[in-house]
Amino acid sequence: MKDRIRYSLIYMGVLAALFAVIFTTQVFEDEMAEQLKIHLREKLHLVETAYTNNSLNENPQKLAPFASKELRITLIDSTGVILYDSDAEASKMENHFDRKEVVDAFAKGSGEDLRYSSTLQANAFYFAKRLNDGNVLRLGTRQASLQQAYSKTIPYLIVLLAAIVLAAILIAIGLSRAFISPLQKLVDQLGTPEQMNIENAYKEIAPLVNTIRKQDLELQLTIEQLSSEKQKISHLKDEFTANASHELKTPLTSISGYAELIENDMAKPEDVKMFAGKIHKEAKRLQSIANDIITLSKLNDLESEPFDLSEKINLWNLAHSCIEGLILNANKKSIQLSLDGDSSAEILGNSKLTYEMLFNLVDNAIRYTESGGKVVVLVEPNALVVKDTGIGIPEESQSRIFERFYRVDKSRSKETGGTGLGLAIVKHIAEVLHATIHLNSTVGFGTEIRINFNSFSKQNKVL
């Protein structure tokens, strides 16, 4: 793991260095090219002024003093014939009427182009301008002049790249050691959970370390009490320690405790049925968590199992079926569960997913509404609304209630039997259906959750 982190950081550093150098090079090259264009325009303006003031159109050869080894001057008449060229004999040159910069100069007043010049035997940048007498004055410079200036910066860029790579390697080595050191200490102490120290560990893994430490202590005690099943318990310990999570710990501990009392004849005969009921209840909770995890897994894996979203759904009928499935739970708590709204509202989507989303919302509302309260499902065009008179959600928790295993009141969640995944499933289904969720809740007054679906014509596809 240390090497993986180290190499990953080094790779990131090298890539960042390469990107920085390439970006710097590109910016420098673009800036140099722009400066070259500005220089040519300024030079052309000076030559144009001299051309006009001195009537050089009568003797184009007088343009020669303005040319240089790096600067080429060409004078072209309105038919494309070369009147003067500083780098070649004008009479032997071909007609330039079709040159891009010349075409643009005649049409727009000025033009520019970067191409290979057979006269200069090199790539050249040209800038041309139409003069008052109808001729075109063109200035050109070899791209080599730009490359020469650019090549001078290459050694500095190489040194910069090497320095960044070296710094990335040193930082990667230091950071990998800093990252792994606390984890390595915890790994070394796994065999002696009572000595595990989480003070120097990352705060994000402190709950996991506490869970592992507690479970290790409980499993070690079980091993001492059940020496005849030592090998089996050891296997369970390794498996449980590797896969345990905070949400599975409580039901597993309860099941283990009640089963042990019955197995060792420590339970009174009249309590056996109650203990069996407790075990059954916790097992159903584990099953619910497992089913919810499977559901979330399917929702997250849309490529292997796509959902058809082209089904025509009557929201009223779907909501009515959902209420029929939950009316018994509502009656047990004397909660008034009702349906209201538009009986003709329809959408395009997936009826199974939409039903499961609404079922989770209504079930959650029933769980967190006191006896004698009300839960209402409201059907609107392209929307489903679930309102309750429950305990409400604190404002600081409203942005997190759709997270997996997040609970506002953990003790109350255990009493209601919720898995902590219901609203997470709602969120993921909404994403699949391209729906949006809006939450409005006040502590002590209740909660309203609105699901807005896309317009009828936009959801006719398969995901």
- List, as one string, the DSSP characters of 254-296: HHHHHHHHHHTT-S-HHHHHHHHHHHHHHHHHHHHHHHHHHHH
Q: For 244-297, how does the pLDDT look when each residue is reduced to its tens digit (9 = 90+)?
A: 355 566 677 777 777 777 777 777 777 777 878 877 777 766 776 676 667 666
From CA 44, how far away is CA 41, in angstroms rounded?
5
Q: For 401-442, how does the pLDDT look when each residue is reduced to its tens digit (9 = 90+)?
A: 887 767 666 555 555 556 667 788 888 888 888 899 999 999
Indicate the range of 148-157, 310-319, 334-343 predicted with least confidence.
148-157
DSSP letter at 245 equals -
- List, as one string, the DSSP characters of 354-395: HHHHHHHHHHHHHHTS-TT-EEEEEEETTEEEEEE-SS---G
Closest CA to 362 of 378, 343, 346: 378
Q: For 365-400, how does the pLDDT look when each residue is reduced to its tens digit (9 = 90+)?
A: 998 899 999 999 999 999 999 999 988 889 888 888
DSSP letter at 38 equals H
β-strand pairing of 71-76 with 136-142: antiparallel
Q: What is the pLDDT of residue 264?
A: 77
Whether 318 and 355 have beta carbons less than 8 Å apart is answered as yes
Say whether pLDDT at 150 is over 70: no
Residue 195's Cβ-count burial label (10 Å; 0-12, 13-18, 19+) is: exposed
Higher confidence at residue 91 or residue 4? 91
Opening angle at CA 439, ends 412 and 401, nearest 5: 40
Reduced DSSP (H G I as helix, E B as strand, rest coil) percent helix, strand, coil of the chain, to 5: 60, 15, 25
Structure tokens at 238: 């390794």
Q: What is the pLDDT of residue 448?
A: 94
Whether 137 and 75 have beta carbons less than 8 Å apart is answered as yes
Whole-model pTM? 0.42
Task: Name the residue type at position 179.
Answer: F
Mean pLDDT for the chain overall: 77
Task: Name the residue type at position 407.
Answer: R
Higher confidence at residue 211 or residue 183? 211
Q: What is the pLDDT of residue 104?
A: 92
Q: Ranked by mean pLDDT, which of 171-180, 302-311, 315-324, 388-397 comes out on top?
A: 315-324
Q: Which residues contact 86 (CB under 8 A, 6 or more apart)?
A: 63, 64, 67, 71, 72, 73, 74
Q: Cα–chain-centroid distance for residue 392?
A: 31
